[in-house]
A and B are shown apart, each in its own frame.
Chain A
Amino acid sequence: MSIHPQLLHLIIALIAVMAWVGLNALVLVYFERKGAGFIQRRPGPFEVGPQGIIQPLVDGIKLMCKQLVMPTGADPVLFWTAPLLSMTPVLLLFLVLPYGPWLTGMQIDLGILLILAFAGINVLALLIAGWSSNNKYGLLGAARAVAQSVAYEIPLLLAVLAVAFTTGTLDFVKITEGQGPWPWQWNMVYQPLAFIIFIISAVGECNRAPFDLPEAESELTAGFHTEFSSMGFGLFFMAEYSYMVVVASVASTLFLGGYQGPFGSDGWWWYLPKVYAILMFMIWIRWTYPRVTFVQLLNINWKWLLPLGTVNLLATAFFMKLF
């Protein structure tokens, strides 16, 4: 029996992605807590392991040891599907990201489209999580999640489209190679407005503060995942951090030159710092700003990001036609 080499490649890539996603979540949790500690003038985790680096791992083990509780009146099928549905598409998203010249799980022509399509499934997961848990906070959180994700996907798409127009492709590797290694050769310089819109929408899409309304702690206790315990919550948590990594990766690929390095030093060692710079930026704003209200959130989207994104897209198309 022989396995098709492409299938083998895909399986290896998937396993690698799973490991990578888990590792990333741990590293990000550590960064988040250390970053929060730095901003709040306290040490952050520092008891477990040197400088507390084992803390996220121990937290993960603690989460796994917790009891899985399902509230009375909850829909058992949907309730347990939701966390899985939230986590699974993320693994697929990591497949198409270009980590380096030879480090891409699956290079396809429609990489951006795949990411946008599968990222949308997360909304469904949040919706059924909130709806099935028979909790009013969960329901309100789910309603917020849907309205927010649907709204913020549009400017995200417009920003991505503007880049796709200039590069003429939806393939991540080609977009990366269309940019140069130096900062003034990046798409960020040619599409500054698209970059800003992308970052704002990405924060909104990831449900991160100041746009963390679906899980607004001070209003909805925990929003859509109020009733989830143990790894049910853990999967949502991991999915959230993984989505952060995905949007940061997409941002670095589309706007910051991806894995390209000067003097032919291409590789993941250029890609990772860019991704983590964006992630640190997201952590920074989370621990700095208060949360907006829902009306303000939608106003920012429909009254500012969407018109600006449309204008940017039309202007891009106009200049592409002109030159």
Chain B
Amino acid sequence: MTRYPDPKQVGGDFYSRNFAKNARPDTLILNLGPQHPSTHGVLRVLLELDGEYILRAEPVFGYLHRMHEKMGETKAWGQFMPNMGRVDYGHPLSWNWAYCGAVEKLAGIEVPERAEVIRVITHEMNRLTSHLLWWGAYILDLGAFTPIMYAFDDREHLLDLLQRPTASRLTYSYFRFGGVSKDLDEKFVEGTKAFIARFRQRLPMYKDLVTDNIILRKRVEDIGIIDQDMVTRYGATGPVARGAGLAYDLRVSEPFGVYDRFDFKVPTQTTCCSMGRYLVRMEEMEQSCRIIEQALEQLPGAEGPHLVKGAPKPQAKMPAGEAYFAVEGGRGKVGVYVVSDGSKIPYRVKLRAPGFSNLSCFAEACQGMLLADAVAVLGSLDLIIPEIDR
């Protein structure tokens, strides 16, 4: 039996031809993406379908590759900072922090206490925006249009607040070597307190209306099993690992900044399915609120300026050496490894994106499921494509 259409005649690029080579003759090869509503940007997934059941899947990416790592080798240390807001538009402050942390470790720069508290507050608020963006888009993937409007309503409040100190709404470049660029003002603090009070009332509503909806539960429960074995094999982190029952959260296991001061839980689920990952993120939003509240209480007592005296200028030289710094981003472990040869331009900047490892689980997790379920699993991994491609 020959495959119709014959892959040799049809053409296609290297990936689709290579994928078609191992296909069964009676199956349909579907090229999901790079322009597809549910691939969240320009992810491309090759699927071998038997009817609507997926036999094999292969993610293809690189359509949004912007050479961030190479750009790091051509710009001065401080000039590379704006790139960190653009690697992951969902949670840019985690990248800000990871890069600043690595450089501070390399140069031995002390961060004032006040700056550390400000970093925690803004970082957690950015995590809320990241999770709200994921939540709305995920439910949209499942076919419900309305929740994203509610999520963006909340997110809008957060962005308005974050705009005050950071001066931007999406691609933040707020952290500096040795602190942050601007101090928090009174309006920000009051607005954040008001937002948390409001958000605390919205979360139960989301639970009632969306999380407990029978159709949603039937759609995502027991779909896309990613267990601890898979998590360790692929190096998945963040909510994907915690959804598999692995309480791995860098804020607790390898505390950075001043996270060891705060009292919060690391939510885990043992179901390993998409619902597990969903519930972990919903619970994380509550925990983020707790952290922000505690941090806001500590803010007046936190001493020091928002930026250390004598912080390095953008064109400053860094001492030779290497440093690695990892923070817990909205999607998992965000790591930055920098190598310096003593000049004002980094010798190497390596970015460790959590989405890349999380996406690797997809091909194995989606085997044998329906196309619609594959979309549900893809969404539950919370992929931000620019971060994967870098």
Contact = CB atoms under 8 A, between A and B. Distances in A.
Interface of A: 36, 39-42, 136-137, 139-140, 143-144, 209-210, 212-213, 216-221, 287-296
A140 B371 contact: yes
Closest 6 pairs between A and B when the two form their complex, measured CB to CB: A291-B143, A40-B149, A290-B144, A290-B142, A218-B38, A293-B372
B213 A290 contact: yes
Contacts of A39: 146
A40 B145 contact: yes
B146 A218 contact: no
Contacts of A296: 218-219
A293 B149 contact: no
Contacts of B219: 290-293, 296
A40 B145 CA distance: 8
Nearest to A210: B215
Given A289-B213, A290-B219, A216 B372 contact: yes
A263 B84 CA distance: 73
A217 B372 CA distance: 11
Contact of A290 (B28, B139, B153): B139
10 contacts: A36-B145, A41-B153, A140-B30, A140-B371, A143-B52, A218-B142, A287-B146, A289-B213, A289-B215, A292-B219
B36 A40 contact: no
Interface in B22-42: 28, 30-31, 36-38
Contact of A293 (B140, B213, B370): B370
B230 interface: no
Contacts of A212: 143
B50 to A, nearest CB: 12
Interface in B359-390: 370-373, 375
A294 B149 CA distance: 26
B206 to A, nearest CB: 14
Contact of B143 (A137, A144, A209): A209
A245 to B, nearest CB: 22
A294 B143 CA distance: 13
Nearest to B223: A293
A148 to B, nearest CB: 12
B372 A40 contact: no
Nearest to B372: A293
A289 B104 CA distance: 49
A290 B52 contact: no
A218 B218 contact: no
Contacts of A289: 143-144, 213, 215
Given A40-B145, A219-B371, A290-B139, 16 more contacts: A36-B145, A41-B149, A41-B150, A136-B31, A140-B52, A143-B52, A210-B143, A217-B37, A218-B142, A219-B372, A220-B371, A287-B145, A288-B144, A289-B213, A290-B143, A290-B219
A292 to B, nearest CB: 6
B153 A295 contact: no
A218 B145 CA distance: 11
B88 interface: no
B143 A218 contact: yes
A77 B79 CA distance: 59
A140 B38 CA distance: 16
B370 A290 contact: no
A11 to B, nearest CB: 42
Interface in B123-182: 139-146, 149-150, 153
A144 B370 CA distance: 13
A293 B141 CA distance: 12
Given A40-B149, A217-B37, A218-B142, A295 B370 contact: yes
Contacts of B375: 218-219
Nearest to A39: B146
B216 interface: yes
A6 to B, nearest CB: 47
A143 B143 CA distance: 19
Interface string B194-219: 00000000000000000001011011
A293 B142 CA distance: 9
A139 B28 CA distance: 11
Nearest to A286: B145
Contacts of B142: 218, 290-291
A245 B31 CA distance: 36
B215 A290 contact: yes
Contacts of A294: 52, 370, 372
B141 A218 contact: yes
A144 B36 CA distance: 19
A140 B139 CA distance: 22
Contacts of B37: 217-218, 221
Nearest to B29: A136
A292 B149 contact: no
B134 to A, nearest CB: 15
B114 to A, nearest CB: 38
Contacts of B145: 36, 40, 287
Best-surrounded residue of B31, B139, B372, B375 (most CB of chain A within 10 A)? B372
A41 B154 CA distance: 12
Interface string B326-365: 0000000000000000000000000000000000000000
A140 B29 CA distance: 12
Q: Which of A36, A41, A212, A293 has the most CB of B within 10 A?
A: A293
Nearest to A209: B143
A137 B219 CA distance: 21
A42 B150 CA distance: 10
Nearest to A220: B371
A42 B149 contact: yes
Contacts of A287: 145-146
A291 B372 contact: yes
Interface string B24-66: 0000101100001110000000000000100000000000000
Interface in B63-108: none
Nearest to A212: B143
A288 B141 contact: no
Nearest to A295: B370
B218 A40 contact: no
A219 B146 contact: no
A211 to B, nearest CB: 10
A212 B145 CA distance: 13
B220 to A, nearest CB: 9
B38 to A, nearest CB: 4
A293 B373 contact: yes
